[in-house]
């Protein structure tokens, strides 16, 4: 069993100008960077420039593919758009498959409304399963996100979010470690 740090990158799942998912993703990265048992980095969907004249693994981006292959787990910060997920996020996720298989994923929903992206998370669950990812029991939810941050992108009341993030990460880290150990045991 490996004691190496887990690599758990954070995907910022919208390219929208003025996106409030960005301070959420930055908060998550900043907090989890402090955990000695893991390494992380922000993957901003806006920077990847996946072409839109095709779909699926033919569009595989070498950098994104390498990050997914290296990852032991994933966090996806996903805004709720008409109760669904941004099309560009799905377009990006569809460019990989074997890179994800039997790895843990934690979902962080972001919404202007009161439900903290609960509906987009429900819609993303079957996609996660089809990609071979294993979802955690806990999600993170940022509701009324437009009123949670100051102009510098800092949470106005960080303590409750830090508590929820710690609980979410405890489970995601446990699952990521268990699945890494399982993958190292070989084919099932």
The residues that touch ligand FMN, with contacts defined as CB under 6 A, are 14, 16, 19-21, 79-83, 110-113, 145-146
Minimum separation from the CB atom of position 42 to ligand FMN (A): 14
Minimum separation from the CB atom of position 35 to ligand FMN (A): 25
Question: Which of 146/187 has CB closer to ligand FMN?
Answer: 146
Minimum separation from the CB atom of position 11 to ligand FMN (A): 13
Question: Which of 161/176 has CB closer to ligand FMN?
Answer: 161
Contact 179, 151 (CB under 8 A): no
CA dist 126 and 130 (Å) reads: 6
- Which long-range contacts (C-beta less than 8 Å, at least 24 apart) are formed by 26-35? 26/153, 27/155, 27/158, 27/161, 27/165, 28/75, 28/77, 28/108, 28/140, 28/165, 31/162, 31/165, 32/8, 32/75, 32/165, 32/169, 35/169, 35/173
Question: Which of 81/138 has CB closer to ligand FMN?
Answer: 81
- Indicate the residue whose CB is closest to ligand FMN: 113
Minimum separation from the CB atom of position 40 to ligand FMN (A): 19
Q: Name the nearest CA neighbour of 108 among 164, 153, 150.
A: 164
Contact 119, 143 (CB under 8 A): no
Contact 180, 186 (CB under 8 A): no
Minimum separation from the CB atom of position 135 to ligand FMN (A): 20
Minimum separation from the CB atom of position 120 to ligand FMN (A): 8
DSSP states of 64-79: HHHHHHH-SEEEEEEE
């Amino acid at each position: 069993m490996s004691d190496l740090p887990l690599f758990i990158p954070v995907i910022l799942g919208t390219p929208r100008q003025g996106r409030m998912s960005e301070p959420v993703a930055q908060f998550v990265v900043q907090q989890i960077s402090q955990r000695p048992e893991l390494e992380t980095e922000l993957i901003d969907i806006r920077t990847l420039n996946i072409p839109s004249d095709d779909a699926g693994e033919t569009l595989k981006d070498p950098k994104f593919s390498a990050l997914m292959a290296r990852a032991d787990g994933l966090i996806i910060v996903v805004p709720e758009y008409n109760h669904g997920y941004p099309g560009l996020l799905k377009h990006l996720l569809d460019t990989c498959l074997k890179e994800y298989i039997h790895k843990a994923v934690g979902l962080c929903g972001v919404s202007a409304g009161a439900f903290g992206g609960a509906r987009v998370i429900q819609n993303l669950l079957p996609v996660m399963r089809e990609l071979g990812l294993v979802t955690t029991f806990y999600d993170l939810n940022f509701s009324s996100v437009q009123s949670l941050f100051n102009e510098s992108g800092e949470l106005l009341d960080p303590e409750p979010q830090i508590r929820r993030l710690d609980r979410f990460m405890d489970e995601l880290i446990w699952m990521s470690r268990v699945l890494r150990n399982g993958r190292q045991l070989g084919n099932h």
